[in-house]
Structure 1
Amino acid sequence: MPDNQRDATQELKNELALGYRAMAFNGLGLGLLAHLTARLPGSDTYWTYQIGQSVEEVTVSDLAECTMDTKPLIEGKRINPSILCHGDVYKARPDVTCILHHHSKASIAMGAIGANVQPYDRNSGRWHDEIAIVEDFDAPEIHNQGGSMVDALGSGKALILKHHGVLVTGRSVRDAVVAAAELDRVMEVQLMAMAAGKIDLMPQEEIDDCKKFLASDMFADGTWNWYLRSMERSGLSDGALT
């Protein structure tokens, strides 16, 4: 492997391991209820953690590289078969280099009532026309629905998996993780607003304006760096890069 590719791979693995810890920092995926994968741009393989770990436990040495159909490149690495749909998304979307899935309370509640995110403030406006709802989602052992997920996702950013949480894509690990955390807060606030009364929606001009910053690398990078500082202070990132 050329030195530049080796360096890029190591950088990806480091950010992926920290991405798992950042999920824990945001209360996403504790236990065994989440998946986070990432690949180098243009690669036909991707990296993930091994089945049986919780996100706050993952280290670089735990990461495993697999093919698009979840076959590990190193024998003995245990890949969760539930990430089979990630390969389908990667093959269909060259722009996507990271995929995150979790089952938070807010995402499950939104899926349970078949509700999509509405543009009620700047943070929610960032998601306008970026999320589709998949009406059904089965375990891949029964029937892989990667194709229907790809069709529903289109060129969008995320899916609400009815009965099964959310799937968020990213142009990088930090983009996917920050977006997923922000989306979860947006869903939680919307559920509170829906319970309280009628939601007043933002005008299109304001939606267009908020997307410029909240969907930008500047926002993702700044928020990610705050995660790293916060995790270091709390000890949550300890051992991640080992």
Structure 2
Amino acid sequence: MPDPYYASVDDLKQELVHGFRAMALNDLGLGLLAHLTARMPGADTYWTYQIGQSVEEVRLSDLREVGFDAKAVDGTSPINPSILCHGDVYRARPDITCILHHHSKASIALGAIGANLAPIDRNSGRWHDEINIVEDFDAPEIANQGTSMVDALGSGKALILKHHGALVTGRNIRETVVAAAELDRAMEVQLMAMGAGTPAEIPQAEIDDCKKFLASDMFADGTWNWYMRTMARRGLLDGASE
């Protein structure tokens, strides 16, 4: 399993479980309506959890290997049909190894008014020219929905799904989870600013500078380690390895 981020499948699966718990830490889960998947290196499959739990409840034993057709490799586990579009994205973008989808209040609100994220601070500047809107989003389990999402994503890193939240991609699990949390905070700030007036955008030089740091491995790793310490203190990792 040659992979630059994980020494073994077990390491990948453990970080995936921690990714689900970190989604809960950042309020990116809503009951059963949040997805996190991680591509299996060297195969047309990915790992996720069987439907029936919220993100803070996911354990190692709940993970299932799923084909790009959203069917469990073991042929029996109940898998959320909404992850069908993940296979389309993985197939079209070999550089993407993790996908996170959530229905946060900020992402739904921003999408409902048809607004994209504007570079009004360093957090949002990091996403400049890397996030698009899917205007005709219907339902992720519909076969052709993945095609429209792939087209909208292009070479970018995230999507606002109109009336349906956000989808964030990354090179590994921790990068994706951290990016999703930072993106959601940027959306909240923009909505607050729009409610108070017309937000001014930061200059291109600052956009370029914040991209270098906020999209770096150093930022993702450091933030992830903070998540892990925080979750340990709060008991949010209890039962994760079961």
Q: Shorter-chain-normalised TM-score: which range?
A: over 0.9
* 1:150 Cα deviation after fit: 0.2
Aligned position for 2:107: 107
What is the CA–CA distance in structure 2 between the aligned matches of 1:75 and 1:140, rounded to whole Å?
21
Render the CA deviation track for 1:139-187: whole Å, top value 9, x for unaligned: 2455541001001101101000001100000100001100000000000
Aligned position for 2:17: 17
Q: Is the Cα–Cα contact under 8 Å of residues 84 and 144 in structure 1 kept in the other structure?
A: no
Q: Is the Cα–Cα contact under 8 Å of residues 33 and 102 in structure 2 kept in the other structure?
A: yes
Render the CA deviation track for 1:97-131: whole Å, top value 9, x for unaligned: 00000000000000000001111111110000010
Aligned position for 2:202: 202
What is the CA–CA distance in structure 2 between the aligned matches of 1:141 and 1:21, rounded to whole Å?
24
What is the CA–CA distance in structure 2 between the aligned matches of 1:108 and 1:190, rounded to whole Å?
13
Residue identity in the other structure for 1:168: V
What secondary structure, in the 3-state scheme, does the structure 1 residue paired with 2:109 have? helix
Aligned position for 2:51: 51
What secondary structure, in the 3-state scheme, does the structure 2 residue paired with 1:224 have? helix
Render the CA deviation track for 1:78-98: whole Å, top value 9, x for unaligned: 111100000000001111000
Residue identity in the other structure for 2:134: V
TM-score, normalized by length of structure 1? 0.95
* 1:75 Cα deviation after fit: 2.9
What is the CA–CA distance in structure 1 between the aligned matches of 2:73 and 2:143, rounded to whole Å?
24
| Runs of 5+ consecutive residues of structure 2 not aligned to the other structure | none
Residue identity in the other structure for 1:68: F
Aligned 1:1-242 pairs, distance under 5 A: 8-142=8-142, 144-242=144-242
Residue identity in the other structure for 2:185: R
What secondary structure, in the 3-state scheme, does the structure 2 residue paired with 1:136 have? coil
* 1:40 Cα deviation after fit: 3.2
Q: Is the Cα–Cα contact under 8 Å of residues 85 and 141 in structure 2 kept in the other structure?
A: no
Residue identity in the other structure for 2:111: G
Q: Is the Cα–Cα contact under 8 Å of residues 85 and 146 in structure 1 kept in the other structure?
A: yes
* 1:7 Cα deviation after fit: 5.5
TM-score, normalized by length of structure 2? 0.95
What is the CA–CA distance in structure 2 between the aligned matches of 1:188 and 1:63, rounded to whole Å?
31
Distance 1:122 1:7, change over 3 A: closer
What secondary structure, in the 3-state scheme, does the structure 2 residue paired with 1:239 have? coil
| Runs of 5+ consecutive residues of structure 1 not aligned to the other structure | none
Render the CA deviation track for 1:41-93: whole Å, top value 9, x for unaligned: 34210000111110000011100001100111113211111000000000011
What is the CA–CA distance in structure 1 between the aligned matches of 2:140 and 2:119, rounded to whole Å?
33
Residue identity in the other structure for 1:175: E
Distance 1:190 1:32, change over 3 A: same
Residue identity in the other structure for 1:26: N
What secondary structure, in the 3-state scheme, does the structure 2 residue paired with 1:46 have? strand
Distance 1:16 1:141, change over 3 A: closer
What is the CA–CA distance in structure 1 between the aligned matches of 2:229 and 2:149, rounded to whole Å?
35
Equivalences, count: 239
What is the CA–CA distance in structure 2 between the aligned matches of 1:141 and 1:47, rounded to whole Å?
17
What is the CA–CA distance in structure 2 between the aligned matches of 1:117 and 1:43, rounded to whole Å?
34
Q: Give 4+ residue runs of structure 1 displaced > 3 Å after superposition.
A: 140-144
* 1:237 Cα deviation after fit: 0.8
Q: Is the Cα–Cα contact under 8 Å of residues 84 and 141 in structure 2 kept in the other structure?
A: no
Identity %: 76
What is the CA–CA distance in structure 2 between the aligned matches of 1:160 and 1:214, rounded to whole Å?
20
